[in-house]
Structure 1
Amino acid sequence: MPSWDDLKYALALSRHGRMNSAAQSLGINVATMSRRIERLGEELGQPPFVKKADGWEASPMIAGLLEIAEDIEQRLGAEMNSIHAGTAGHSSSLSIGCPPIISLFMLFPNMSNRDPSLRNVNYTFTQRVMEEGMGENDLVIQYKRPESGRVITQKIVSLTSSIYRRKGGKPDSGWVSLSENYDASPFNQSAYAFFDEKPSVRVQSMYELYELVAAADMAGPLLDAIASNNPELEPVEGGEEICSTDLWLIYHASRKGDPVVEGTIAWIKDSFARLPSNRGDVVRLKTA
């Protein structure tokens, strides 16, 4: 019967898809990682992973084992947090995965307002934009609602977007959009509907989009909660609130009741509750 020690290697490889990344996450070398996966295969009587062009993919045969391993890991984390809650000298760790623009503009500015009970929590923030699943994160904030999995899902905020440009910028200087990877999203589709020409520049993230609109003369769609707080930007007439984007908070079902997870969720919700709602005056795109 596979032990928990065997399963944690399989769980790491299923999350990362590559031997070197999985080994690094566990603090071991690739040779040890490969040997432990081979040992699991011998235990099961067949290979637990299949080599693909883009990495290693878990065999459907071990799907149930991986689910058990995930549940064990999450329950251990929750139980340790419950034991250490309120105990001086003990620290907990929590990983939050979210788009960089969310952490930079919405979470980091509110770090000092966390509940005192979270003072010994060591946070790790990972950048996630289009990825699926939890990965190695304890909490994930993402634009898309997950379709399956043993996770608890909460919609925490709906963020409106408008077309902005830099104050004093030259008119008719083109516009910037997110990359083609976002073309199916309401964010890109709404921007395409507003402009009657193709974007001059495409970028990979909303943070890059924000930086480019703020630095150049090109207009572009931005989140109101962020852009409205920048006095150097102004919304374009007719481009107000072109779309609304829902943000979803997800975490593993076995972490329900975890004091660190619940306290962190309360802080995240408070961070979004403090967002500004005003957009300021509008400007005409072609005449300003």
Structure 2
Amino acid sequence: MPNSSSAPSFARIYDDLRVVLTVQRCGSMTSAASEIGTTTSTVSRQIARLRDTLGIYPFVKSEGEWRLNPALSDLVATFEQADGMLESELARLQEYQPTTRRDVKIGAPPTVLSHILAPGMRDFVSKNAGIRPVLDSRIHESGLGSTDISVVFHPPESGRVRVKRCGVLHFSIFAPEGWREGDGWVSLGERIAGPYIEARRHFFTSDPTVLVDSFPQAVRMMRELGLAGALPVILAADTPEFRPLGPRDLDIRRDLYVIHHESRSTDPDIRATVDWVSAQLVEAKIRTRALQDTQQRLCGSMY
């Protein structure tokens, strides 16, 4: 470390540690730059600056991936804890400024945002005037990234993160009315649907007719081209012209976890938002179960 006469400001170290923490959470400098809203080169420069300050490189390569240098684990964990506590204390002080609204960033898969959280947003905002929800679409991430709260399929295996399993996302095969075997099907790409594509190829006896990168695109292709496809049950409920195609052994069930950093557990805004997100997920699970019962009856009447 530099001597006291040349020591860098704590503000600069704080800023650089925030970047390192985001890289650790996101898994890459590119993803971290996107989360922060800057460029990869800027992230790289800040990491290099912290290396010069501390005398060690913040990341080391292990098994082909860049990981946090173990020598910095305690420092980064301490920073993360302090950062969360600071956010919580600032939230508490905002109680004295009733007209001030505070951003709470919520990350979740797109379908969760649009079909589980959005329907309850009016009620949440009316009851929590001091909170401004900021929704962030996330698909593969298992950690928090730059979010305050995230809904994930896989919770992080390490770190001081509070995890609550309270929701499920169900997927089934649907097709437009009049679809016949051989009419084709649409799928998300290998990056997202990879583990499930082979079983669907076997069912449809063909490769996908069209590949897309989101469920709204899949719905559009199903409507425009008359294709079948796998959709979240809660999303398919908005499209009454689609019918469940089966078979049930191709249905997928993905657990949903709500996560936030433990240092934010006393933050009143985080607590209120976590409780609301959890309640929306539980309500959606009940609603999906009712939809599946209806679909099962429809399937029975088709055969």
Classify the TM-score, shorter chain: 0.7 to 0.9
Of 7, 12, 27, the residue aligned with 2:19 is 12
TM-score, L = length of structure 2: 0.77
Q: What is the rounded CA distance, in whole Å, between the counterparts of 2:41 and 2:34 in structure 1? A: 6
1:25 matched to which residue of 2?
36
What's the offset of the Cα at 1:193?
A: 5.7
Alpha-carbon spacing, 1:191–1:23, altered in 2? closer, same or farther (3 Å): closer
Alpha-carbon spacing, 1:15–1:131, altered in 2? closer, same or farther (3 Å): same
CA contact (8 A) 2:142 2:153 kept: no
1:135 matched to which residue of 2?
145
Q: What is the rounded CA distance, in whole Å, between the counterparts of 1:95 and 1:254 in structure 2? A: 16
Gaps of 5+ in 1: none
The alignment partner of 1:62 has SS state of helix
CA contact (8 A) 1:106 1:271 kept: yes
Structure 1 residue 156 corresponds to structure 2 residue 190: no
What's the offset of the Cα at 1:196?
A: 3.4
Cα RMSD after superposing both structures: 3.6
CA contact (8 A) 1:86 1:117 kept: no
Alpha-carbon spacing, 1:243–1:28, altered in 2? closer, same or farther (3 Å): closer
Gaps of 5+ in 2: 2-7
CA contact (8 A) 1:113 1:267 kept: no
1:179 matched to which residue of 2?
189
Alpha-carbon spacing, 1:119–1:216, altered in 2? closer, same or farther (3 Å): farther
Structure 1 residue 68 corresponds to structure 2 residue 78: yes
Q: What is the rounded CA distance, in whole Å, between the counterparts of 2:85 and 2:263 in structure 1? A: 6
**Which structure's residues are more often helix, by fraction?**
2
**Structure 1 vs Structure 2: percent identity of aligned residues?**
24
Q: Using the TM superposition, name which of 171-180 and 22-31 deviates more.
A: 22-31
Matching residue's letter, 1:122? R
CA contact (8 A) 1:79 1:258 kept: yes
Of 192, 203, 211, the residue aligned with 2:212 is 203
Q: What is the rounded CA distance, in whole Å, between the counterparts of 1:159 and 1:29 in structure 2? A: 33
TM-score, L = length of structure 1: 0.80
Matching residue's letter, 1:10? L
Structure 1 residue 108 corresponds to structure 2 residue 118: yes
CA contact (8 A) 1:176 1:213 kept: yes
Alpha-carbon spacing, 1:214–1:31, altered in 2? closer, same or farther (3 Å): closer
Alpha-carbon spacing, 1:43–1:234, altered in 2? closer, same or farther (3 Å): same
What's the offset of the Cα at 1:111?
A: 0.7
CA contact (8 A) 2:29 2:44 kept: no
Q: What is the rounded CA distance, in whole Å, between the counterparts of 1:161 and 1:20 in structure 2? A: 28
Alpha-carbon spacing, 1:79–1:26, altered in 2? closer, same or farther (3 Å): farther
Of 209, 230, 233, the residue aligned with 2:242 is 233
Give the total of aligned pairs: 283
Of 260, 269, 273, the residue aligned with 2:269 is 260
